[in-house]
């Protein structure tokens, strides 16, 4: 995003006793909403989640008045939306829908600046903005600007949909299952990219999904709704998972909510355990003395502290220099952004006790064990939510052979 | 074929063809304007569908000669009579096609348009109508080709373009005139149809794979 563009900070969104009733219960009637009150602070992502027909989409559409509430008010930065001109209001709110709804007869370059055109921006400024927006969502403007939507893949269209919603830099965005129509791998990538974008943009976002995992991943706040449009619980994801308000919420978040909670914490949040370490050529006797009897292994590292492999205490010679041949390279490597859930699953998969945590240059920071993660899950004390290590890629890798560098890589969010 | 007749009557043939084109263009143009209004009414409020559909459908079923006979006492043997008849026959086809085109705009595209802040007029002009172009062109093709044929019939009230040429050919057993009239009419229909196809393609670049 160009720095010449003035960035609007997010606005607060307040639902004040919002209800929407429908006379008919015909098929296709949107879900009703019953006495809904909550507040989304500026710059936060609030995910509305619940089973189909719970009124989450209805709630979303009442913000830009595609649906008018039966009673109650919605305030944007304290101003009642009902008092504002409806088209002017909509042009100030970004809107992304699952089917994307790009205009088939307009090029991508035209599609992304629909709202700026409605707002009367001159053509030159629109063209510049289109370039910025496409770059922002990771699409090369030169390649995509003049194409039509039918020439794009599903994932590319979703990106254009997000770019279009951001075009006039609205303080509030409404996203109705924005990543629902793509396969899980693309969805995961789009989610991660969007979270990274949001760190920079700090929009206030209302996000609808039926997928509790997506809600936990994307939400600063999660509003769990149940049928009849009743708000069952509202709070940060860690709170929803740790203390479901009722049976419905507990069932909805799933029996594995302990595991899900692990996806909210990252390896870097743990106090990393230190192990005995030595370099090839070091005197074995000295190294042996450092070994902790509760974890009878020595970690061999190179000059840059990069792990080479493990030497079990009983295979460690009692004298002479240590050599690389003794080390068995079999631990997964994590960086600090890996979630505990992914770390645990990799540890279980690779059938070892400990994973090695490394920094960006690959230097050893410490180890993490499955037991420690399980302990974390039991105590339920979760620090996080915000990303404490911005800039570090959330990638982790498993290497079967550390020494020869061969291995599998898995990018995890 | 009497080639001498043709070469000595080139001017008259061209005049008749031009008349034919003007009669057709007027009929389709006026018919499109009326149908467009009808379609907007229907698109705006479905309750207009039955009455408009009923009237245009009824007009369409009246045999052309009968309609001319009915109109002549009122509007005389005139261009007006011919055009009333010709326009009548375009309405059903054009109205239906325009309505189908507007209805065919996918729901999510309309929802996105409204959600982004298009007003009613803006959405119609910038979203719904462009997307309806393929069906509108399809309607115009049928209406135009049909009208080119029907113009012949108006020869009976003294209009008719190339129809006049053919009618006189029959009366004077000048079959060369009959053939020429028929062939030029078919040529006009083909040219008009190809022209509309081309115009439709040019107006909808997004439908072409690149």
pLDDT digits (tens, 9 = 90+) for A230-260: 999 999 998 998 889 999 999 998 878 777 8
Q: Is the dihedral of CA A86, A88, A92, A94 positive or negative?
A: positive
A173 and A31 together in one domain:
yes
pLDDT-based confidence at residue A378 (cuts at 50, 70, 90): confident
A202 and A250 together in one domain:
yes
Domain boundary among A232, A255, A278: A255
Check residue B207 and give its pLDDT.
Answer: 87
Would you call B204 and A105 a contact, using CB atoms and an 8 Å cutoff?
yes
| pLDDT, chain B, mean | 93
Is B100 domain-assigned? yes
Domain boundary among A255, A279, A300: A255
CATH code, domain carrying A73 = 3.40.50.300
A237 and A273 together in one domain:
no
Structurally, chain A folds into a number of domains equal to 2
Is B31 domain-assigned? yes
Is A405 domain-assigned? yes
CA proximity to A93, closest of A127, A61, A139: A61
pLDDT-based confidence at residue B209 (cuts at 50, 70, 90): low
Q: Give the domain range for residue B130.
A: 3-205
Q: Give the domain range for residue A184.
A: 13-255
Is B164 domain-assigned? yes
Q: List, for residues A128-139, the tens digit of each pLDDT value.
A: 999 999 999 999
Is B57 domain-assigned? yes
ipTM above 0.85, yes or no: no
Would you call B115 and A95 a contact, using CB atoms and an 8 Å cutoff?
yes
Pick the range with the lowest mean pLDDT from A285-299, B99-113, B139-153, B167-181. Answer: A285-299
Q: Does B63 touch chain A (CB under 8 A)?
A: no
To the nearest whole angstrom, how far is the Cα of A232 from the nearest Cα of chain B? 28
- Rounded CA-CA distance A178/A94 in Å is 12
Residue of B nearest to A101 (CA): B109
CATH code, domain carrying A276 = 3.10.580.10
Is B66 domain-assigned? yes
pLDDT of A335 > 90? The answer is no
- Rounded CA-CA distance A291/A293 in Å is 6
Domain boundary among A227, A255, A283: A255
Structurally, chain B folds into a number of domains equal to 1
To the nearest whole angstrom, how far is the Cα of B134 from the nearest Cα of chain A? 11
Is B210 domain-assigned? no
CATH code, domain carrying B178 = 1.10.3720.10
The pLDDT of B38-44, averaged and rounded, is: 94
A362 and A397 together in one domain:
yes
A249 and A291 together in one domain:
no
A304 and A206 together in one domain:
no
Q: Which residues of A touch B114 (CB under 8 A)?
A: 66, 90
A228 and A274 together in one domain:
no
Would you call B109 and A101 a contact, using CB atoms and an 8 Å cutoff?
yes
Nearest to B127 among A89, A103, A148 (CB): A103
Is A392 domain-assigned? yes
Q: Which positions ≥6 away from B145 have C-beta within 8 Å?
A: B189, B192, B193
Interface residues of A toward B, Cβ cutoff 8 Å, are 64, 66, 87-91, 95, 97, 99-106, 114-115, 118, 147-151, 164, 174
A72 and A177 together in one domain:
yes
Is A3 domain-assigned? no
Would you call B111 and A100 a contact, using CB atoms and an 8 Å cutoff?
no
Q: Which residues of A touch B204 (CB under 8 A)?
A: 105
Q: Does B121 touch chain A (CB under 8 A)?
A: no
A183 and A318 together in one domain:
no
Is A261 domain-assigned? no
Is B169 domain-assigned? yes
A355 and A207 together in one domain:
no
Q: List, for residues A48-79, the tens digit of each pLDDT value.
A: 999 988 999 999 999 999 999 999 999 999 99
The residue written with tokens 């719970």 in the block is A54
Q: Is the dihedral of CA B29, B32, B37, B38 positive or negative?
A: positive
pLDDT-based confidence at residue A28 (cuts at 50, 70, 90): low
A-B contacts (CB, under 8 Å): 65
Q: Does B131 touch chain A (CB under 8 A)?
A: yes
């Amino acid at each position: 995003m160009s720095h010449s563009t003035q960035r609007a900070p997010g606005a607060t969104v307040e639902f004040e006793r919002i209800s929407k009733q429908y006379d008919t219960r015909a098929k296709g009637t949107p879900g009703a909403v019953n006495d809904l009150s909550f507040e989304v602070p500026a710059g936060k992502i609030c995910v509305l989640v619940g089973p189909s027909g719970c009124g989450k989409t209805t709630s979303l559409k009442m913000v830009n008045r595609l649906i008018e509430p039966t009673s109650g008010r919605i305030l944007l930065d304290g101003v009642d939306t009902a008092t504002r001109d409806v088209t002017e209001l909509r042009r100030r709110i970004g809107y992304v829908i699952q089917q994307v709804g790009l205009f088939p007869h307009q090029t991508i370059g035209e599609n992304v600046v629909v709202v700026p055109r409605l707002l009367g921006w001159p053509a030159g400024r629109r063209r510049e903005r289109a370039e910025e927006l496409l770059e922002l969502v990771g699409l090369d403007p030169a390649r995509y600007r003049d194409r039509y939507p039918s020439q794009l893949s599903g994932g590319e269209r979703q990106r254009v949909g997000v770019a279009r919603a951001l075009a006039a830099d609205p303080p509030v965005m409404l996203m109705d299952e924005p990543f629902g129509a793509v396969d899980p791998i693309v969805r995961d990538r789009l989610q991660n990219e969007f979270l990274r974008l949001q760190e920079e943009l700090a929009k206030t976002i209302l996000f609808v999904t039926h997928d509790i995992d997506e809600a936990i991943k994307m939400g600063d706040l999660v509003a769990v709704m149940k049928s009849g449009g009743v708000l069952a619980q509202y709070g940060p994801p860690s709170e929803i998972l740790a203390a479901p308000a009722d049976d419905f919420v507990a069932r909805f978040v799933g029996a594995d909510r302990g595991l899900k909670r692990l996806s909210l914490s990252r390896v870097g949040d743990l106090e990393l355990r230190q192990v005995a370490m030595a370099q090839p050529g070091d005197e074995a006797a000295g190294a042996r003395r450092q070994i902790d009897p509760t974890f009878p292994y020595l970690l061999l590292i190179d000059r840059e502290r990069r792990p080479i492999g493990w030497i079990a205490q009983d295979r460690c010679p009692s004298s002479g220099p240590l050599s690389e041949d003794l080390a068995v390279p079999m631990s997964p490597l994590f960086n600090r952004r890996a979630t505990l859930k992914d770390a645990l699953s990799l540890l279980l998969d690779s059938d070892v006790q400990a994973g090695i945590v490394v920094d960006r240059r690959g230097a050893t920071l410490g180890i993490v064990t499955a037991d420690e993660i399980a302990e974390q899950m039991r105590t339920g004390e979760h620090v996080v939510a915000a990303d404490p290590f911005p800039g570090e890629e959330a990638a982790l890798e498993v290497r079967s052979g550390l020494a020869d560098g061969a291995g599998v890589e898995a990018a995890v969010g | 074929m009497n080639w001498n007749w043709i070469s000595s009557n080139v001017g008259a043939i061209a005049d008749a063809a031009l008349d034919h084109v003007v009669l057709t263009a007027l009929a389709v143009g006026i018919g499109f304007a009326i149908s467009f209004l009808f379609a907007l009414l229907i698109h705006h409020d479905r309750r207009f569908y039955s009455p408009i559909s009923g009237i245009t459908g009824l007009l369409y079923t009246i045999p052309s000669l009968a309609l001319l006979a009915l109109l002549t006492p009122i509007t005389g043997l005139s261009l007006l009579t011919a055009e009333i008849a010709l326009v009548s026959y375009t309405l059903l086809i054009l109205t239906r096609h325009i309505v189908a085109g507007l209805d065919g705009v996918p729901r999510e595209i309309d929802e996105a348009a409204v959600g982004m802040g298009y007003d009613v007029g803006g959405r119609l002009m910038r979203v719904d109508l462009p997307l309806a172009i393929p069906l509108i062109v399809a309607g115009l093709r049928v209406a135009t080709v049909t009208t080119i044929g029907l113009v012949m019939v108006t020869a009976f009230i003294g209009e008719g373009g190339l129809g006049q040429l053919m009618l006189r050919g029959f009366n004077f057993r000048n079959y060369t005139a009959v053939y020429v009239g028929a062939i030029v009419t078919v040529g006009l229909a083909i040219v008009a149809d190809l022209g509309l196809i081309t115009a439709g393609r040019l107006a909808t670049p997004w439908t072409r794979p690149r």
